[in-house]
Chains A and B, each alone.
Chain A
Amino acid sequence: GAVVSQHPSRVICKSGTSVKIECRSLDFQATTMFWYRQFPKKSLMLMATSNEGSKATYEQGVEKDKFLINHASLTLSTLTVTSAHPEDSSFYICSARVRIGANNLPLHFGNGTRLTVT
């Protein structure tokens, strides 16, 4: 159980275009999803927290107008990288969690999306 599916796994786009990445929880309802960015051989950097039906909360230094997050249902969150530039090239990973009561249940991660902007 607790499978998170992320698509696409790889995408190459031209500078100035927008790219949408989907994150789906396949067998559970995810009240909260998190989007991370990972540079080569580096740790996971939290970009934003997405709660179903409300606006995402962005971490300091992350441009909300550039990285648009939509969490329209309990099983789907999307990250759109707008007007992409080569410096946006990175590995983007989503994760999802369902919380029951006060339990902090583990995060389940998707397999990531490698974005290359040319």
Chain B
Amino acid sequence: GENVEQHPSTLSVQEGDSAVIKCTYSDSASNYFPWYKQELGKGPQLIIDIRSNVGEKKDQRIAVTLNKTAKHFSLHITETQPEDSAVYFCAASTTSGTYKYIFGTGTRLKVLA
């Protein structure tokens, strides 16, 4: 089955700096990769996603890149703000079978003011 690894587990950056979180997946059949932000005591919220037919996607300060050959995808947050502090999860899914998501282990991002 699919396995998703996520690094780093914790990340501290100064406000205004960039943050990068990386994930690798094992199942070459995976073709959909969402990123979620989870604040304390709340459910995860989708912040950006990418499909396997695209190499990069950007939404304001957030971007995601995908390397299908290497089975890597990354989240990039630029000009970080204190409100970006949260736990971020990557996930991998397929468009066949049960469509279930396999989540990474999470990255606790702390943006220092």
Interface residues of A (CB under 8 A from B): 4, 6, 32, 34, 41-44, 46, 49, 57, 93, 95, 97, 99, 102-104, 106-112, 114
Contact = CB atoms under 8 A, between A and B. Distances in A.
A104 B94 contact: yes
B43 A93 contact: yes
B25 interface: no
A102 B46 CA distance: 20
A41 B89 CA distance: 12
A109 B99 contact: no
A106 B42 contact: no
A97 B99 CA distance: 10
Given A104-B93, A106-B49, A46 B43 contact: no
A4 B44 CA distance: 11
Given A43-B89, A43-B106, A114 B41 contact: yes
Nearest to A110: B43
Interface in B28-44: 31-32, 34, 36, 41-44
